[in-house]
Amino acid sequence: MSESESAKATMPAECAALYRALCECHRRLREPWQREISCRHLNRSLAQCVVSIACPDESEAVRTMCSSAGTSMKRAQCQRAKLALSVCISSHQAPEQSEASQL
């Protein structure tokens, strides 16, 4: 199974259109620097979609707590929300991905 086929198999249905658009953007633009600039918005949108499906509560907490500057208490809440989101995302990684990131 190719990397693209593997991603399709695990892509949440809610994010499928963004995934197809990103693949099309990558297909059209062969130069890495052009691809990075031109496809950036799709890449970010797809990442946000996948994270919001995998970790809905944590994702919403980060969006809410980190949306604007505020008091030191709000900044601390934002940091805790980011940590909780990071833990949630890590819990969804395959073991070999988690081990590689620890190296």
- Backbone φ, ψ for residue 67 (5° rounding): -75, -25
Q: What is the pTM of this model?
A: 0.74
Cβ neighbours around 60 below 10 Å, total? 13
Q: How many CB atoms lie within 10 A of CB 45?
A: 14
* Rounded mean pLDDT, 36-50: 94
Q: Dihedral of the CA atoms 62, 54, 16, 93 (nearest 10)?
A: 110
pLDDT for 82 equals: 96
pLDDT tens by residue, 57-70: 999 999 999 987 77
Q: Give 98-102's long-range contacts (Cβ < 8 A, gap of 24+).
A: none
Domain boundaries, the chain: 1-54, 57-93
Query: What's the mean pLDDT in 38-50?
Result: 95
